[in-house]
Amino acid sequence: MIKKYYYPCVLSRFIENPFVRLYLHTLKSLKKQNIYHKLSHQLSHITYTFIYLIYQLHIHTLTMDGGDDMNVDRMVARNGTKGTVDKDGNLTSADYYFDSYAHFGIHEEMLKDEVRTNSYRWAIERNPHLFKDKIVLDVGCGTGILSMFAARAGAKHVYGIECSGIVDVARKIVANNGLEDKVTLIQGKVEEVTLPVEKVDIIISEWMGYALLYESMLDTVIYARDQWLVEGGLVFPDKSTLYMCMIEDSDYKSQKIDWWKNVYGFDMSIVSEMAMAEPLVDTVDAASIVTNHCPLITIDISTVKKEDLAFQVPFKLTATQTDYAHAFVMWFDIEFSKCHKPIYFGTGPHHRYTHWKQTVFYFDGEMTLNNNETVEGMVTCKPNESNHRDLDFKLEYTHEGEIQKSGENTYVMR
């Protein structure tokens, strides 16, 4: 069972809408009057429906009359791109990707992720023999935490590149810690900036997204590697593997997806179709896993090419108990293999919590599994045509057990 739900970046697209602000103000007033708790169950359903209606209104505004350029221009991101609406009129992540990283809140969440941050810290600071007197490049430096780890490990100089406005704060953080002579932070896109040096010895980057590849930041790391890394240079981390299993999740699916099929006598199943088409990022209880897990793709960041990040791979899962299955789940592992003692962390249901959680892909109906029966199929993943930071998934599966089931589902992670 999934413990709580979160659709990536849904609220961030509408929070500036005046209707949304009015609704949130109303909720705040109810809380002050101490009657919110009496209505909390009804309000949770109303909130979800309200957001959906605002979404439809927002899309209608963008697509009426063939798509008004003025409406599109209003949502152009600060980075100057116009890729905010795809060919079907849907909002994409282009309009908020860089701006979202300018807010301290997202960095607080990442820094408080001790699995993530301590893994990088240990990989860098416990290996000073690798960093001593080296030139280091931090791709997507954020608050500068990795750059400062590298400086503290003995790097000759660290160059951090960050496109968002958080770089101004990061420079003050570096100065406040007395490292301004060791760390230089540069604002801009990696593909557009000029470094003060021709080559670097080590590249560090925390590039991973949900389901490993969401937001496509690995593309940028590959560019930096090919542009600046010396022959034989190191990349931290240097290996990653994406995994998949299946879970039983009837309660959650019934409450949050199937519920829309009959809402007080009305058919709102179109909302459940939307929810099914977008992978869910959330914490999965390890007790809900009903199959083994299998690796889908392993990436060597030192050698991988951009075209390798779009893949189609077969999978085979074996039921570990007699049960039902309602969704596929993906997560990833990360390794710093060049350390004196390799450092590794995982983001799966059986690992300690990380801010990446796990990524859940629901399918229609349920699958009846007997112990040791197999589910085979194909996973296809590629960048979305309208916005390369979004991901398109297709899951094809066949179960030829006592009760057979096969299907094909497509998803867009945006």
267 and 397 within one domain: yes
362 and 307 within one domain: yes
Per-residue model confidence (pLDDT) at position 70: 33
Residue 22's pLDDT band (cuts 50, 70, 90): low
384 and 349 within one domain: yes
Boundary-marking domain end, from 176, 203, 236: 236
Residue 92 lies inside a defined structural domain of this protein: no
Q: Report whether 377 contacts 315 (CB < 8 A).
A: yes
Residue 22 lies inside a defined structural domain of this protein: yes
Q: Which residues contact 228 (CB under 8 A, 6 or more apart)?
A: 137, 195, 197, 198, 199, 200, 203
Angle between helices 145-152 and 114-125 (to 10 degrees): 30
- Beta-sheet pairing, 239-247 with 294-300: antiparallel
Range in 19-23, 117-121, 309-313, 373-377 the model is least confident about = 19-23
CA distance 118 to 124: 10
Q: What angle do CA 166, 169, 171 make, to 5 degrees?
A: 110
Residue 213 lies inside a defined structural domain of this protein: yes
Note the pLDDT tens digit of each residue in 24-36: 555 555 444 444 4
Q: How many domains does the chain have?
A: 3
Q: Cα dihedral angle (244, 245, 247, 253), rounded to 10 degrees?
A: 30
Handedness of CA 297, 330, 389, 409 (dihedral sign): positive
Range in 69-78, 278-287, 366-375 the model is least confident about = 69-78
Supply the pTM of this predicted model: 0.77
244 and 147 within one domain: no
153 and 23 within one domain: no
**Averaged pLDDT, 164-187:** 96
Residue 389's pLDDT band (cuts 50, 70, 90): confident
Is pLDDT at 352 greater than 60 in this prediction? yes
Domain that holds residue 316: 239-413
Note the pLDDT tens digit of each residue in 308-333: 999 999 999 999 999 999 999 999 99
Residue 2 lies inside a defined structural domain of this protein: no
351, with CB counted inside 10 A (0-12, 13-18, 19+), is middle
Note the pLDDT tens digit of each residue in 231-260: 999 999 999 999 999 999 999 888 888 889
110 and 66 within one domain: no
> What CATH number did the domain enclosing 148 receive?
3.40.50.150
137 and 28 within one domain: no
List % helix, strand, coil for the chain (3-state, nearest 5).
35, 30, 35
Which residues are tagged catalytic?
A: 206, 215
Range in 50-64, 69-83, 214-228, 274-288 the model is least confident about = 69-83
314 and 300 within one domain: yes
178 and 35 within one domain: no
